[in-house]
Amino acid sequence: MERSRDWWIQAQADLRHARNARQEGAYEWACFAAHQAAEKALKAVFERKGQKVWGHTLTFLFQALQEAEAVPAELLDQARILDKHYIPTRYPNSLEQGAPTEFYTRREADDAISYAEAILRFCDRLLHR
């Protein structure tokens, strides 16, 4: 069964969660949710194409997508930044000392959300053409 719609709806929900977390000052969660939104949007594209992909690294998902679609270099750079938010946002042992919530900033959350929005716009064009 083709489930691109489900992946797309969840990508949008994750982006809303990122925005809400930023508003609440949970900047680490905003960054993680932004990553998740981008990941699920990309997986929606693969699902629509009838291709299954595994993994969470946006950079590699984009590289796999480039076999069929031109991906702007700026989106690849944004994906690389979002990839850095996948683990350190959630695990205290990803830092030498301290909890992730003590290190993430509003600016990082703003940037992560902006990058996720750009990736969702790109995926939306691929899904709805």
List, for residues 6-33, the tens digit of each pLDDT value.
999 999 999 999 999 999 999 999 999 9
Task: Compute how many other C-beta atoms are within 10 angstroms of the C-beta atom of residue 31.
Answer: 32
Provide, rounded to the nearest whole percent, the portion of the chain with pLDDT above 70. 100
Contact present, 92 and 11 (Cβ < 8 Å) = no
- Tell me, what CATH number does 63's domain have? 1.20.120.330
State pTM to two decimals: 0.96
Number of H helices, E strands in the chain: 5, 0
Winning range, highest mean pLDDT, from 51-55, 63-67, 96-100: 96-100
Full residue range of the structural domain in which residue 113 is found: 4-127
Domain count, the chain: 1
Residue type for position 125: R
